[in-house]
Homo-oligomer: A and B are copies of this chain.
Amino acid sequence: MGLDHAATKPHEALSALLADEMQAVNALITERMASKHAPRIPEVTAHLVGAGGKRLRPMLTLAAAKLCGYDGPYHLHLAATVEFIHTATLLHDDVVDESAQRRGRPTANLLWDNKSSVLVGDYLFSRSFQLMVETGSLRVLDILANASATIAEGEVLQLTAAQDLKTDESIYLQVVRGKTAALFSAATEVGGVIAKADEAHVKALFDYGDALGISFQIVDDLLDYQGDAKATGKNVGDDFRERKLTLPVIKAVAKADGEERAFWQRTIEKGKQVDGDLDHALDLLNRHGALEETRDDAVAWAEKAKAALAPLPDHEIKTLLIDLADYVVARVN
């Protein structure tokens, strides 16, 4: 399956390059999402599978394994594993956030109920666990167990940190590692580990995934304040209305005078928002250069991701992974 050179977006080029494996992963996902006994499970999972998504995380695992010359079958299991963990996390997140929409469609908790989202999420976690046990690699299991703990801890941390003005950039980074980067870095690392790559290459893949994930999440948080709703599927100011303290606001709070601090306390900590507050928030973000600084941070993490790949040999996939890091920040540059 050749690379389609008309595809300009690097994840599309990767997807084309890995098309056969991506198809095998999709088949494995469909097979393992089924349930003989509980008809509610295929209902909910079919809704999620139907919604698509870019399958970025499983693609990273396949790319890492291929870049390291792997020729066995287990990168498929690992790719399905990370997608299951991701999907389970989304199901639980939508319960936690009381979301009504995901990828432009009603969420499972809205279509069925919170119970189904909690329990089908648990089911997907346990199915991901079975898939990774099949690889027979204790090291892979260790990596994914640690990633799962980091994800859950980051999610709990976010519960209390998101509405607390004392949350600083280092706490934000912990939350971001939990909600996004831990699964990105596990996805790339296990690709290297299953291929029995050199330790230096495994570390390079971990560092790439970690930095790419952080950059990806910072961009997401930035787009919430300056995005184009049609392109992002999010409305400007969703995080502000949901009182989520993300990097742009953390930067503005750090430079706030007394009056500005009182504004953030009222709107984020106490959640008492009135008409015009979002405009004022945007004004404060611009006044302190918080959006520009956030963009600079995202670019710096993307550069770190690219630099991390240096130890790896030249390869078409390496080039596309570098392009992917650039593409992540191109959305805001």
Q: Which of A156, A157, A159 has the most CB of B within 10 A?
A: A156
The count of residues in chain A whose C-beta lies closer than 8 Å to any C-beta of chain B is: 42
- Proximity bits, A148-175, B CB within 8 Å = 1, else 0: 1101111111011000000000000010
Q: Bound complex: CA of A157 vs CA of B151, how far in Å? A: 27
Closest to A147 in B: B126
CB neighbours (8 Å) of A149 from chain B are 123, 126-127, 129-130
Q: Does B159 lie within 8 Å of A40, measured CB to CB?
A: yes
Main secondary structure of the interface of A (DSSP, over half): helix
Q: Does B133 lie within 8 Å of A148, measured CB to CB?
A: no
Q: Does B38 lie within 8 Å of A157, measured CB to CB?
A: yes
Report if A118 contacts B (CB, 8 A).
yes
Using A35-B153, A157-B37 as known contacts, say yes or no to A119 and B145 having CB atoms under 8 A apart: no
CB neighbours (8 Å) of A41 from chain B are 153, 156
Q: Does A148 lie within 8 Å of B126, measured CB to CB?
A: yes
Q: Does A160 lie within 8 Å of B40, measured CB to CB?
A: yes
Q: Bound complex: CA of A156 vs CA of B38, how far in Å? A: 6
CB neighbours (8 Å) of A123 from chain B are 149, 152-153, 156
Q: Does A155 lie within 8 Å of B95, measured CB to CB?
A: no
Using A126-B145, A145-B126, A148-B129 as known contacts, say yes or no to A119 and B156 having CB atoms under 8 A apart: yes
Q: Does A118 lie within 8 Å of B92, measured CB to CB?
A: yes
Q: Bound complex: CA of A204 vs CA of B157, how far in Å? A: 43
Chain B min CB distance to A141 (Å)? 5
Within 8 A of B (CB), among A94-145: 95-96, 114-116, 118-120, 122-123, 125-127, 129-130, 133, 136, 138, 141-142, 144-145
Within 8 A of B (CB), among A216-240: none
Q: Does B160 lie within 8 Å of A37, measured CB to CB?
A: no
Report if A313 contacts B (CB, 8 A).
no
CB neighbours (8 Å) of A153 from chain B are 35, 37-38, 41, 123
Given A38-B160, A119-B156, 4 new contacts (CB under 8 A): A35-B153, A38-B154, A114-B114, A122-B155
29 of the cross-chain contacts (CB-CB < 8 Å) are: A35-B153, A35-B156, A37-B157, A38-B154, A38-B160, A40-B156, A40-B160, A92-B119, A92-B122, A95-B114, A95-B115, A96-B119, A119-B152, A119-B155, A122-B125, A122-B152, A123-B149, A123-B156, A126-B148, A126-B151, A126-B152, A129-B148, A130-B145, A130-B149, A133-B138, A133-B141, A133-B142, A133-B145, A141-B141
* In the complex, the 5 A-B pairs of residues with the closest C-beta atoms, listed nearest first: A126-B148, A123-B152, A38-B157, A38-B156, A126-B149
